Amino acid sequence: MIDLIDVQAEKPTYTIPVSRVGVRGIKYPVRVKRGDREIDLLTEIDIFVNLPSTRKGADFSRKIEAINEIILARKVVPSIEELSSEIAKKTLEKLNYSTNCDVSISADYLVEKRSPNNAPIIKNYKILGETHSNNNGKKTMVGVVVQGINACPCAMETTRALISKDFPGNDELLSKIPTISHNQRNLVTLKIGVPTGKSVEADELIELAEKVLGGSLYSLLKRIDEGNLVYNAHKNPKFVEDIVREIAILALEKYSDFPDDTKLYIESRSEESIHPHDAFAAIDTDFGEIRRSLKA
Amino acid sequence: MIDLIDVQAEKPTYTIPVSRVGVRGIKYPVRVKRGDREIDLLTEIDIFVNLPSTRKGADFSRKIEAINEIILARKVVPSIEELSSEIAKKTLEKLNYSTNCDVSISADYLVEKRSPNNAPIIKNYKILGETHSNNNGKKTMVGVVVQGINACPCAMETTRALISKDFPGNDELLSKIPTISHNQRNLVTLKIGVPTGKSVEADELIELAEKVLGGSLYSLLKRIDEGNLVYNAHKNPKFVEDIVREIAILALEKYSDFPDDTKLYIESRSEESIHPHDAFAAIDTDFGEIRRSLKA
Amino acid sequence: MIDLIDVQAEKPTYTIPVSRVGVRGIKYPVRVKRGDREIDLLTEIDIFVNLPSTRKGADFSRKIEAINEIILARKVVPSIEELSSEIAKKTLEKLNYSTNCDVSISADYLVEKRSPNNAPIIKNYKILGETHSNNNGKKTMVGVVVQGINACPCAMETTRALISKDFPGNDELLSKIPTISHNQRNLVTLKIGVPTGKSVEADELIELAEKVLGGSLYSLLKRIDEGNLVYNAHKNPKFVEDIVREIAILALEKYSDFPDDTKLYIESRSEESIHPHDAFAAIDTDFGEIRRSLKA
Amino acid sequence: MIDLIDVQAEKPTYTIPVSRVGVRGIKYPVRVKRGDREIDLLTEIDIFVNLPSTRKGADFSRKIEAINEIILARKVVPSIEELSSEIAKKTLEKLNYSTNCDVSISADYLVEKRSPNNAPIIKNYKILGETHSNNNGKKTMVGVVVQGINACPCAMETTRALISKDFPGNDELLSKIPTISHNQRNLVTLKIGVPTGKSVEADELIELAEKVLGGSLYSLLKRIDEGNLVYNAHKNPKFVEDIVREIAILALEKYSDFPDDTKLYIESRSEESIHPHDAFAAIDTDFGEIRRSLKA
């Protein structure tokens, strides 16, 4: 048996606290059991702790041990966000010099659904679970990423005017039919805090996002499904700002019994077809702020 | 002075030739002088050689030396493709055990232009230079990457039928006006072999691609420029297959005096707004094959 | 029922053949059944066909249909490479105007193993399956990606000389102990053609790569496991050229009954700790060429 | 002239404030003039504003106009961080409904230097400039990214013990010479707030990071330079935690006259050669907190 110095436990040369020490992108297979439904996920886990000024190194392998003990020992977890919470708890037990722990987990979430045309299709989401734990307690969030299409309301008015000029005398019809506009993939991220005693299903969040996006993208589209997806996006043209606001409203209605300090993060990224860059909007707030703003 | 064994020059344990040995993504500042115009580029260089069965290691630092001697010593090069050719030549001189050398160089190419509305704007291209050198000689290609927008001709017919159903009695008008369709960023790559004694300007290639794409994307769009870009894309809806074929025709016309063995590579990638994946088409051929196909 | 024009079936304006038309990165859940072992994989699929000069568009949705019919209908496949082969076959049946079809499938492959220290750990590989089908028949390959560590043999000799200068009189010991060198993550890709009537297990390929790399990386390392991994890498320092050659020899021995036209692709990428760029070596050949080279 | 509705200026359906609206990754060529030295940079710019509850859309093209008016009109800027500050100011003037503006600019920064061996080499950094402007005023930071190598102090002790076991009777020598350890590329990000009336040179920040890393990586290394780089990294093995703390100390000494509210962000990312994931440490604080911690 070799006797080794515990280098990390030494006193550091400079007694400065380190805000975050950790690892990103550790991959683990996780089986989620939800009621009588089991799903196998390939998760990516980020895990960070703080390091006090009095210790040289955080023990990286112990953080991984915490993950191992929970994932490999348990085999089945009730949810991604519950897993993040348990890993944060176990990590702080093992690294008793740390007071903060942040755990983020994401996984591709492929779901077999039916196309409007009733063909079996795969929809491709991401699900997210996060726990931020410190002296003041623990906050857990659950989230999803959903891909849809959005058409620009502003460009639609411009092209309507251009077509009207080229085809005079048809303004009444042109004012009624959806006109061409630039449209593009729109990536929505929706995360919500889970209050104690409440629960949030990732599938519910997907439903909210899809309602605002008018559906979500999938690989196989029959021509008529494709036509309707495009048609609907142009009947309801939306800015990224509209998308995040409409999702906020739906989240507020769906979880109307959640308290004011419930965290909410909504992002919409539009891969602008007329620009070489993406456009973003994000609402990063809590339920209370939104409720107050709507009343104002 | 320390005396060091030349480990790489040793005989390998297993006398197997290695197809490619090299490095990717070396960054160098390069000043290109083109007539009386000077441009500073930040290039990324890939460089590979073959290694015969009789030698343990290729000398990596000598390949970099070849780059250094040409770029740092010369300061100014006539073109990216000429630079790739000189580096390949110098590398094979230094690594006299190798017979093949492949050098690829790419650089962002930002050009100040005028918007249709006459505002100063920056257009954002990539330029490419490649040399493939072996026992049979040397082939040099010059290329560009251009971003545009394409609207799908197939979805346009479907939505036209859907609108026609919702707004009956307007079929004559509807058959004439551009109808809504899905549209998206389209990334075109165009590379062409440079025959001995001929030259190809990157700016000419950009012009060909922009002609087919109906312009290229830029960051600042006035509403009327934006409207026209979208309108034009829908007046001329194109599949990725159409785009690569139309560019092939324009290249063939522009360089009609180039011989049949002139290499041509054209790729169009469409970031499908209705799908979570991209669509591709590529023509990877030479002038002779296209000429024969058009005559058939 | 709406009557739609089949835009893609039209004659193209320019009768030029298109080399490749297709999509990249379609995600599908796939269950592989291998003997009595079942694994759930999240695959990414690329699929390309050629388009003859006489047709305007390839039918993208039919390619996806081919994938759907095989994956969603079958639920269980014997292997990733067999799946690529079936999708290629079905696609060419559906797109009877195409003669070539290339299908590539990759998936993360997470395997629970034991650390040298007997702790349960997750090893993180990729598995690959490819089929290239054309008029001359069909070639199928199976492959893996394995991450290890390599130490540079050349720098080791330099530092040995430097240490010897600083600590004179110890040359005998210094010549025997492994000396410091730069070491780094090394990403090995190994793909091999599967001759008719033969089969290749991905797990066998992983074993070959790990033998040459002295093991592979995993997330949790006990200090003694970590020490031994580093120690072994320095006892057997290797260039990227050494790594690809040693794997070639092991593959040739393992599959000694495979014919000369068996394709072999081996790549080693070293994330050089002393350089801002990566170093590569690749053997891209067939069994015959290697056999001949070893006899020469 | 076409008369267009200002869609963005409309009242939104839901009066919810949007935290951030903007674009990422706009590319601009910028010439920085610093004393008598001029450098051409290819910058990437992110720009975000808040949107009050009372307005439907932020005017994206006006943000780009702000960039255009400053970059394209001015041609030369004193620094990247000054540019971020001017763009933030101009944007808030143009978008008078917004109160917050965040601008981040980054650029590759390639510098011709001399190797220890006196050969001309290119060093490859990034420089960063950021401005965060809101009702309480404006904060500007300047930063750099530097690549070095770090060797692990913990694994070094383990391998020392292993070698000592294999070569008994040499403990005195073994305790003095640097032993093998895992080492890897280490990416340091260092950003510092610029107090009013003070200035910080990016080159100074690079110097601080290189002092702690024992130099930085470059493409061409003579064997003796390579040997010394590796030797030095093992004479001074460092955890990511050590690296961020040592840089913090040097920054505090260098800018000892900067006030307590000076922001400081230091990150070290180690591409672990023994793990398939990266290790991180970050200090995200201000000068006051560090000063207090050192005195405690």
In a mutational test of the A interface, the residue from D14, D160, D181, D273 whose CB has the highest number of chain A CBs within 10 Å is D14
For chain D, the chains sharing at least 3 beta-carbon pairs closer than 8 angstroms are A, B, C
pTM > 0.90: yes or no? yes
Please give the Cα distance from C70 to C52 (Å, whole number): 26
Read off the pLDDT of residues C76-107 as tens digits, 9 standing for 90 and up. 889 999 999 999 999 999 888 999 999 999 99
Q: Hey, are the CB atoms on D185 and C161 less than 8 Å from each other?
A: no
Q: Hey, are the CB atoms on B157 and C16 less than 8 Å from each other?
A: no
Q: What is the mean pLDDT of residues D41-63?
A: 88
pLDDT at C119: 79
What percentage of chain A has pLDDT greater than the value 70? Answer: 97
Closest CA to A203 of A77, A32, A87, A70: A32
Q: What is the DSSP letter of B12?
A: P
Residue C76: count of CB within 10 angstroms of its CB: 10
pLDDT band at A65, cuts 50/70/90? confident
Q: In Å, how far from its chain's centre is CA D245?
A: 16
pLDDT band at B226, cuts 50/70/90? confident
Does residue D1 surpass a pLDDT of 70? no
Closest CA to A139 of A181, A209, A198, A225: A198
Q: What is the mean pLDDT of residues B26-48?
A: 89
Does residue A5 surpass a pLDDT of 80? no
Q: Element (H or E) spanning B138, and its range? A: strand B137-151
In a 3-state reduction of DSSP, which class is residue B223?
helix
Q: Element (H or E) spanning A267, and its range? A: strand A263-270
Q: List CB contacts (< 8 A) between C50 and chain B.
A: none
Extract the tokens encoding C193: 């053609």
Cross-chain CB nearest to C167 (options D124, D151, D177): D177
Q: Give one DSSP letter per residue of B84-121, joined into a string.
A: HHHHHHHHHHH-TT---EEEEEEEEEEEEEE-TT--EE
pLDDT band at A71, cuts 50/70/90? confident
Q: How many helices (H) and strands (E) does chain B have?
A: 8, 9
pLDDT at C246: 97
Q: Hey, are the CB atoms on B274 and A230 less than 8 Å from each other?
A: yes
Cross-chain CB nearest to B280 (options C22, C245, C276): C22
Q: How far is D139 from chain A (nearest CA, A)?
A: 21
D229-266 burial string, b = 16+ CB within 10 Å, else e? bbbbbbebbbbbbbbbbbbbbbbbeebeebeeebbbbb
* Radius of gyration of chain C from its Cα atoms, rounded to whole angstroms: 24
Q: Which residue has the higher pLDDT, C124 or C34?
A: C124
Q: Which residue has the higher pLDDT, C63 or B238?
A: B238
User: Mutual orientation of helices A223-235 and B153-166 as an angle, nearest 10°?
Assistant: 70
Extract the tokens encoding B27: 């960054």
Cβ neighbors of C264 (< 8 A, separation 6 or more) are C191, C192, C193, C248, C251, C283, C284, C285, C286, C287, C290
Q: Element (H or E) spanning D228, and its range? A: helix D223-235
Read off the pLDDT of residues A201-239 as tens digits, 9 standing for 90 and up. 999 999 999 999 988 888 877 788 889 999 999 999 999
In a 3-state reduction of DSSP, which class is residue A200?
coil
A90-119 burial string, b = 16+ CB within 10 Å, else e? bbbeebeebebbbbbbbbbbbeeeeeeeeb
Does residue B168 surpass a pLDDT of 70? yes
- Looking at the complex, does the CB of residue C107 fall below 8 Å from at least one CB of chain A? no
Q: Which homologous superfamily is C7-104 in?
A: Urate Oxidase; (3.10.270.10)
Residue A257: count of CB within 10 angstroms of its CB: 8
- Looking at the complex, does the CB of residue C39 fall below 8 Å from at least one CB of chain A? no
Read off the pLDDT of residues B109-136 as tens digits, 9 standing for 90 and up. 999 888 877 878 889 999 999 999 998 8
Extract the tokens encoding A139: 């906050």
* Radius of gyration of chain B from its Cα atoms, rounded to whole angstroms: 24
Q: Is residue C81 a contact partner of residue C32, using CB atoms and an 8 Å limit?
A: no
Please give the Cα distance from B244 to B213 (Å, whole number): 10
CATH number of A11-106: 3.10.270.10
Cross-chain CB nearest to C61 (options A108, A120, A221): A221
Extract the tokens encoding A174: 């042109």
Q: What are phi and psi of D152, to 5 degrees?
A: -80, 125
Burial of A64 (0-12, 13-18, 19+ CB in 10 A): buried
Q: Hey, are the CB atoms on A159 and B223 less than 8 Å from each other?
A: no
What percentage of chain A has pLDDT greater than the value 90? Answer: 69
Please give the Cα distance from D82 to D59 (Å, whole number): 24
Q: List CB contacts (< 8 A) between C61 and chain A.
A: 220-223
Q: What is the mean pLDDT of residues C145-157?
A: 94
Q: How far is B92 from chain D (nearest CA, A)?
A: 17
Q: How far is A11 from chain D (nearest CA, A)?
A: 11
Provide the number of CB pairs (under 8 Å) joining chain B to chain C: 175
Q: Which residue of A has its CA nearest to D270?
A: A23
Q: What is the mean pLDDT of residues C218-241?
A: 89
CATH fit for domain B16-106, picks 3.10.270.10, 3.30.465.10, 2.60.40.60, 3.40.630.10: 3.10.270.10
Please give the Cα distance from A209 to A251 (Å, whole number): 9
Q: Which residues in chain A (239-268) have CB-CB distances under 8 A to chain C?
A: none
Does residue C135 surpass a pLDDT of 90? no
Read off the pLDDT of residues D206-260 as tens digits, 9 standing for 90 and up. 999 999 998 888 887 778 888 999 999 999 999 999 999 999 999 999 999 999 9
Q: Is residue A156 a contact partner of residue B179, using CB atoms and an 8 Å limit?
A: no
Read off the pLDDT of residues D133-158 as tens digits, 9 standing for 90 and up. 998 899 999 999 999 999 999 999 99
Read off the pLDDT of residues D82-107 as tens digits, 9 standing for 90 and up. 999 999 999 999 888 999 999 999 99
SS (H, E, C) chain C: CCCCCCHHHCCCCCCCCEEEEEEEEEEEEEEEEECCEEEEEEEEEEEEEEECCCCCCCCHHHHHHHHHHHHHHHCEECCHHHHHHHHHHHHHHHCCCCCCEEEEEEEEEEEEEECCCCCEEEEEEEEEEEEEEECCEEEEEEEEEEEEEEECHHHHHHHHHHHHHHCCCCHHHHHHCCCCCCEEEEEEEEEEECCCCCCCCHHHHHHHHHHHHCCCCECCCCHHHHHHHHHHHHHCCCCHHHHHHHHHHHHHHHCCCCCCCCEEEEEEEECCCCCCCEEEEEEEEEHHHHHHHHHC
Read off the pLDDT of residues C188-204 as tens digits, 9 standing for 90 and up. 999 999 999 999 999 99
Q: Is residue A104 a contact partner of residue A197, using CB atoms and an 8 Å limit?
A: no
Task: Give the dihedral sign, CA B155/B160/B161/B163.
Answer: positive
Read off the pLDDT of residues D247-286 as tens digits, 9 standing for 90 and up. 999 999 999 999 999 999 999 999 999 999 999 999 999 9
pLDDT at D37: 86
Q: Which residue of C has its CA nearest to A72?
A: C120
Please give the Cα distance from C3 to D131 (Å, whole number): 57
- Looking at the complex, does the CB of residue A234 fall below 8 Å from at least one CB of chain B? yes
Does residue D287 surpass a pLDDT of 60? yes
Extract the tokens encoding A149: 């299409």
Closest CA to B76 of B111, B35, B108, B107: B35
In a mutational test of the B interface, the residue from A152, A162, A230 whose CB has the highest number of chain B CBs within 10 Å is A230
pLDDT at A178: 92
A290's torsion region: left (phi>0), alpha (psi -120 to 50) or beta? alpha
pLDDT band at A69, cuts 50/70/90? confident
pLDDT at B119: 79
- Start-end of CATH 3.10.270.10 domains in chain C: 7-104, 136-296
Q: Are strands A37-51 and A101-114 parallel, antiparallel or unpaired?
A: antiparallel
- Looking at the complex, does the CB of residue B230 fall below 8 Å from at least one CB of chain A? yes
- Looking at the complex, does the CB of residue C119 fall below 8 Å from at least one CB of chain A? yes
Does residue C1 surpass a pLDDT of 60? no
Class of domain D1-107: alpha beta
Q: What is the mean pLDDT of residues A146-154?
A: 95
Per-chain mean pLDDT for chain A:
91
pLDDT at C45: 93
What is the CA angle C44-C46-C52, rounded to 5? 165
Please give the Cα distance from A272 to A150 (Å, whole number): 10
Per-chain mean pLDDT for chain D:
91
Q: Which homologous superfamily is C136-296 in?
A: Urate Oxidase; (3.10.270.10)
Please give the Cα distance from D157 to D163 (Å, whole number): 10
Q: Hey, are the CB atoms on A122 and C29 less than 8 Å from each other?
A: yes
Please give the Cα distance from D20 to D49 (Å, whole number): 5
- Looking at the complex, does the CB of residue C228 fall below 8 Å from at least one CB of chain A? no
pLDDT at D193: 98
For tokens 């009956």, the residue is: B168
Read off the pLDDT of residues B60-115 as tens digits, 9 standing for 90 and up. 777 677 777 777 766 788 999 999 999 999 999 988 899 999 999 999 999 988 88
Does residue C3 surpass a pLDDT of 80? no
For tokens 């290039």, the residue is: B43
How big is chain D, counted in residues?
296
- Start-end of CATH 3.10.270.10 domains in chain B: 16-106, 136-296
In a mutational test of the D interface, the residue from C182, C219, C225 whose CB has the highest number of chain D CBs within 10 Å is C182
Q: How far is C22 from chain D (nearest CA, A)?
A: 28
pLDDT at B218: 84
Does residue A1 surpass a pLDDT of 70? no
Residue B15's Cβ-side half-sphere holds a number of Cα atoms within 13 Å equal to 8
Residue D46: count of CB within 10 angstroms of its CB: 18
Please give the Cα distance from B219 to B225 (Å, whole number): 12
- Start-end of CATH 3.10.270.10 domains in chain D: 1-107, 136-296
Per-chain mean pLDDT for chain B:
91
Read off the pLDDT of residues B245-289 as tens digits, 9 standing for 90 and up. 999 999 999 999 999 999 999 999 999 999 999 999 999 999 999
- Looking at the complex, does the CB of residue A281 fall below 8 Å from at least one CB of chain D? yes
- Start-end of CATH 3.10.270.10 domains in chain A: 11-106, 136-296
Per-chain mean pLDDT for chain C:
91
How large is the greatest C-alpha to C-alpha distance in chain D, in angstroms? 93
Read off the pLDDT of residues A283-296 as tens digits, 9 standing for 90 and up. 999 999 999 999 98
Q: Is residue B117 a contact partner of residue B224, using CB atoms and an 8 Å limit?
A: yes
Q: How far is D51 from chain A (nearest CA, A)?
A: 9
